[in-house]
Amino acid sequence: MKKRTFFSQFKHVIKTNAQLRTGLICLVILVTVALLAPVLAPCDPYKLYDSILAKPGTSGHILGTDGLGRDVLSQILYGARTSLMIGVVAASISGIIGTCIGGIAGFFGGKVDRFVSEFMNFFLMTPSFFLILIIVALFGSNIMYIMIVIGFTSWTGNARLMRAQAISLKERTFVKSATAMGEGKFAIMFKHIIPNGIFPIVAQTTMNVSSAILSEAGLSFLGLGDPNVVSWGQMISHGKQYMLKGWWIAAFAGIAVIFTVLTFFMIGDGMNRVLSPKMNSNN
């Protein structure tokens, strides 16, 4: 019965929230494209063809070729894999770190909260993209480094949300009952505080996927992305020098970035509207 209740509620949410429904449909399309990229791609994205700057629909290339003769459509399809992997992994790292740090700060309070708050203020005052640039320049532009760096520099929003949730939840009766029964503080935090306050973090983390994708695209555009993988940011950077005679290189890659960012924003904002009672009451 519980499974039926969950699925019935899920169907109801999808039917009533057009924004979330649209975002999930777009996400299914993105994931399908990323998984089936080797099947859907008409060419090898790394292969250099003789037809340089071929216009879309000519020389057997649906979206044309770039300045080196590489097929644009194949690069976009494989670039979806890179963007989704970086976005999901970086946002997950950010969500885990922010949840733990914010939960500790809000639940323990006192000196711990003040120390963590000052630590968060340091990250908030430091331009995150500038910090990412420095770290990537020092340690290299490997895709693993990029994912970890983006995740470690974007956790403050999740931490502030979890801190507020923890401050509110620790005054609830069930938490005080667990304390009175002798449960340890960390046990209470991980068994009661975090599970009951995680829902806004899930919505925020979903939207953080968009930020991570944009950060990676920005790094690749500046030439600090991983040169061994296909990236939409690299395509835009490569296409900027051909804007007059090869506009399709940067244009189609830019459209792919916008579509992906909007997808995760719609899902995150839609989840936030579903999970926030105040936003539901206003609607």
Residue 12 located in a structural domain? no
Q: How far apart are CA 73 and CA 95, in angstroms?
A: 33
pLDDT, tens digit (0-9, with 9 covering 90-100), for 178-188: 888 888 888 88
Residue 58's DSSP bridge partners are 61
Residue 105 located in a structural domain? yes
pLDDT, tens digit (0-9, with 9 covering 90-100), for 218-238: 888 888 888 888 889 889 988
Provide CB contacts within 8 A for 13, sequence distance 6+.
20, 274
Residue 35 located in a structural domain? no
Q: Is the pLDDT of residue 54 over 50?
A: yes
Q: How far apart are CA 74 and CA 29, in angstroms?
A: 16
CATH of the domain at 174: 1.10.3720.10
Structural domain count of the chain: 1
Residue 63 located in a structural domain? no
Note the helical H segments in the chain.
Answer: 2-16, 18-35, 37-40, 72-108, 110-125, 128-139, 143-152, 156-169, 173-180, 185-188, 194-197, 199-221, 232-239, 247-275, 277-282
Which is more confidently placed, 217 or 135? Answer: 217
Which two tokens mark 242? 């051909």
Q: Is the pLDDT of residue 281 over 70?
A: no
pTM summary value: 0.84
Q: What's the mean per-residue pLDDT of the chain?
A: 85
Residue 64 located in a structural domain? no
Q: Is the pLDDT of residue 136 over 60?
A: yes
Residue 142 located in a structural domain? yes
Residue 266 located in a structural domain? yes
Q: What is the pLDDT of residue 1?
A: 41
Q: Is the pLDDT of residue 77 over 90?
A: yes
The model's confidence at residue 260, banded by pLDDT at 50, 70 and 90, is: very high
Q: What is the pLDDT of residue 9?
A: 63
Instruction: Compute the CA torsion angle 168, 169, 172, 175 (nearest 10 deg).
Output: -150
Q: What is the pLDDT of residue 10?
A: 65
Residue 6 located in a structural domain? no
Q: Is the pLDDT of residue 258 over 90?
A: yes
Give the pLDDT mean for 258-269. 90
Domain that holds residue 171: 22-29+69-282
